[in-house]
């Protein structure tokens, strides 16, 4: 018998009165057929609710052999589970013995009886430990998700869990492209009467993707268009490990085939990663070969006009009109005080403060945007820097004339650094295709020359040695047959290396040679562990 408890707090005494006979297996091992079951369903129009372990927030009882939480959505829905508190005693590292909570994401309606965990089911993951060990959210593959709580003989002070469930429409996660036959491949083509933007997802998103799959997403724009791709969320595998050693990986190619230059290799966990193509074609290849699949990715795409289009010209016109009211002190220098530098227009140039090398006007506010494409990064090299400095020993750039550098991190604009005074900053490199500068010249003086910056859009990450490889975003080869010795540097050296960047260096000697590395300078920020 299945019983619905939607608005009732669960207690141990009540749970033990409810029994459901299910002949189930756990990766080949039968679950106790006398499982207790609590059922949550969307049949009665209740789209969300809460659930908890027995006696929460008091410690849960020992020797709970099999307590099932069954969440059943409508046929077009999936189940979302979010733990607001989680504390299950971790007696074993793999969470399959003692106290644990097993998750069945692929439960079905096979065989006789009601839907639920049955002899065809296998659990997808096992959970135990503290709140940090619980996933941010759980999603079913279909309309059913089952949690199995089991506690061992040992009495503990662990309080169990409380969480929320929600039934959501799976059609919210449909890829907008044209699916190729019965595969996970999609084609996206820019057409005059079709939306220029859309979304794409990994298979079964937001639930975990299947193992041993390879999916391709082909984008074809028109000749006067380029492709903007933003990976809003990408959760493949936990950790901070080189993408060279990952079984699950996303590769983005700047063209229509996999031999085109690689723009990005995404693994681990990434939020808000933006990519801009250099031409009208883009290829995304998603490969998953791990035994522990992650949640996958969700991304958005946009077919946008290139810089020579009339739409872009109209945008620039509106921008010029918007900044025309800056006041007499700055309006005369508007053309050099508010600018957008695009790599499509010029690969390098000079940027100077208003009236440079003469003092900049008081109450100057300037904004500069840099936009790269493809494999390019924005690099700034300061040639001169002289801003008005207030008297005092403490340097606080917030209270004096300053230049702020902003990067896009996790999809948001984030201040990277503030510079003030007279010391020339080290070179700066962006972490992606965008970089912005804000110049605030509040005070000025006859001694304040301002700044002179050399900017460039580079594909070599500022690494001047070795041979760059096209099959990685940042990789360089050093062959003994070409040179027996040389110098290797981090990206943007001697400036700060860019964040969210992985570079690989390959050294190949002759048969009887060894590779000797001597670090003459080393300053790399450490991370746990």
pLDDT in tens, 347-367: 999 999 999 999 999 889 999
The pLDDT value recorded for residue 392 is: 60
Categorize the per-residue pLDDT at 4 as very low, low, confident or very high, splitting at 50, 70 and 90. very low
Q: Please provide the average confidence, as pLDDT, over all residues in the chain.
A: 84
pLDDT in tens, 415-425: 999 999 899 99
DSSP conformation letters of 466-499? SEE-SSSSSEEEEETTT-S------TTTTSPPPS
pLDDT above 50 (res 310): no
Domains in the chain and their CATH numbers?
12-171 (2.60.120.290), 174-305 (2.60.120.290), 335-458 (2.60.120.290), 462-529 (no CATH)
Count of other CB atoms within 10 angstroms of residue 381? 18
Q: Is residue 406 helix, strand or coil?
A: strand
Q: Which two tokens stand for residue 279?
A: 């031409």
Identify whether 494 is preceded by a cis peptide bond (ω within 30 of 0): yes
The pLDDT value recorded for residue 94 is: 85
Strands 402-409 and 434-441: antiparallel
pLDDT above 50 (res 177): yes
pLDDT above 70 (res 12): no
**In whole angstroms, what is the distance from residue 498 CA to residue 460 CA?**
13
pLDDT in tens, 178-221: 999 889 999 999 999 899 999 999 999 999 999 899 999 999 99
In 3D space, the residue among 269, 326, 278, 331 whose CA is nearest the CA of residue 296 turns out to be 269
Residue pair 272/412 in contact by the 8 Å Cβ criterion: yes
List helix spans (H) across 297-414. Answer: 310-322, 328-331, 334-337
User: 84 vs 42, 87, 136, 333, 487, CA distance in Å?
Assistant: 21, 10, 9, 54, 52
CA angle at residue 332 from 330 to 335, to 5 degrees? 90
* Rg, the chain, Cα only: 29
pTM of the model: 0.81
Q: Is residue 222 helix, strand or coil?
A: coil
Q: Which two tokens stand for residue 166?
A: 């929600």
The pLDDT value recorded for residue 24 is: 30
Mean pLDDT, rounded, for 14-36: 40
H or E segment at 295?
none
Range in 72-76, 120-124, 325-329 with the lowest mean pLDDT: 325-329
pLDDT in tens, 54-69: 999 999 999 988 899 9
Q: Measured between alpha carbons, how far apart are the two ends of the chain, in Å?
A: 50
Q: Which two tokens stand for residue 363?
A: 């109450």
Q: Which two tokens stand for residue 491?
A: 């990206």
The pLDDT value recorded for residue 30 is: 35
The pLDDT value recorded for residue 389 is: 77
Count of other CB atoms within 10 angstroms of residue 216? 18
**In whole angstroms, what is the distance from residue 170 CA to residue 77 CA?**
5
Count of other CB atoms within 10 angstroms of residue 497? 18
Mean pLDDT, rounded, for 379-385: 96
CA angle at residue 211 from 207 to 216, to 5 degrees? 85
Residues 6+ apart with CB under 8 A from 438: 365, 366, 367, 403, 404, 406
pLDDT above 60 (res 246): yes
Mean pLDDT, rounded, for 72-99: 92
In 3D space, the residue among 462, 454, 387 whose CA is nearest the CA of residue 429 turns out to be 462
Residue pair 497/426 in contact by the 8 Å Cβ criterion: no
- The distance of Cα 207 from the centroid of its chain, to the nearest Å, equals 16
Categorize the per-residue pLDDT at 43 as very low, low, confident or very high, splitting at 50, 70 and 90. low
Q: Which two tokens stand for residue 265?
A: 């290799």
Residues 6+ apart with CB under 8 A from 528: none
pLDDT above 50 (res 70): yes
pLDDT above 50 (res 525): yes
Q: Which two tokens stand for residue 51?
A: 């659930």
């Amino acid at each position: 018998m299945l019983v619905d408890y939607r608005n009732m707090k669960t207690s141990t005494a009540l749970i033990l009165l409810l029994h459901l006979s299910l002949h189930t297996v756990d990766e080949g091992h039968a679950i106790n057929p006398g499982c207790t079951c609590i059922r949550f369903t969307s049949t009665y129009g209740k789209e969300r609710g809460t659930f908890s372990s027995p006696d929460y927030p008091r410690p849960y009882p020992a020797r709970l052999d099999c307590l099932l939480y069954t969440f059943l959505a409508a046929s077009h829905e999936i189940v979302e589970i979010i733990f607001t508190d989680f504390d299950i005693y971790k007696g074993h590292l793999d969470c399959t013995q003692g106290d644990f909570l097993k998750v069945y994401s692929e439960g079905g309606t096979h065989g006789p009886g009601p839907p639920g965990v049955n002899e065809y089911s296998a659990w997808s993951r096992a959970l135990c430990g503290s709140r940090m060990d619980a996933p941010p959210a759980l999603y079913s593959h279909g309309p059913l998700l089952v949690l199995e709580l089991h506690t061992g003989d040992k009495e503990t002070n662990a309080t169990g869990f409380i969480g929320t469930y929600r039934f959501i429409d799976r059609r919210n996660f449909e890829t907008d492209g044209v699916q190729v036959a019965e595969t996970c491949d999609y084609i996206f083509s820019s057409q005059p009467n079709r939306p220029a933007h859309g979304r794409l997802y990994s298979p079964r998103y937001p639930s975990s993707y299947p193992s041993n799959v390879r999916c391709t997403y082909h984008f074809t724009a028109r000749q006067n268009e380029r492709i903007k791709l933003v990976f809003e969320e990408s959760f493949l595998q936990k950790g901070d490990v080189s993408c060279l050693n990952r079984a699950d990986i996303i590769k983005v190619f700047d063209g229509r085939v996999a031999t085109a230059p690689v723009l990005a290799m995404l693994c681990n966990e990434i939020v808000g990663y933006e990519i801009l193509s250099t031409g009208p074609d883009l290829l995304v290849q998603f490969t998953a070969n791990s035994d522990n699949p992650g949640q996958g990715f969700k991304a958005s795409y946009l077919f946008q006009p290139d810089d020579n289009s009339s739409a872009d010209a109209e945008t620039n016109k509106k921008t010029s009109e918007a900044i025309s009211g800056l006041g007499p002190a700055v309006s005369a220098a508007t053309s050099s005080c508010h600018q957008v530098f695009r790599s499509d227009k010029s690969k390098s140039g000079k940027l100077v403060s208003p009236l440079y090398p003469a003092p900049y006007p008081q109450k100057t506010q300037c904004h500069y945007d840099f936009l790269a494409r493809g494999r390019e990064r924005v690099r700034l090299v300061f040639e001169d820097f002289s801003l008005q400095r207030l008297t005092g020993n403490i340097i606080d750039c917030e209270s004096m004339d300053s230049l702020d550098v902003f990067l896009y991190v996790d999809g948001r604009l984030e201040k990277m650094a503030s510079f003030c005074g007279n010391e020339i900053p080290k070179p700066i490199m962006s972490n992606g295709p965008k970089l912005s500068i804000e110049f605030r010249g509040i005070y000025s003086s006859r001694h304040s020359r301002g700044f002179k910056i050399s900017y460039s859009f580079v594909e070599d990450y500022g690494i001047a040695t070795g041979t760059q490889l096209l099959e990685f975003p940042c990789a360089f080869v050093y062959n003994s047959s070409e040179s027996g010795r040389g110098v290797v540097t981090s990206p943007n050296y001697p400036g700060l290396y860019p964040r969210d960047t992985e570079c690989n260096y390959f050294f190949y000697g002759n048969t009887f040679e060894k590779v000797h590395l001597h670090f003459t300078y080393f300053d790399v920020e450490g991370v746990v562990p």
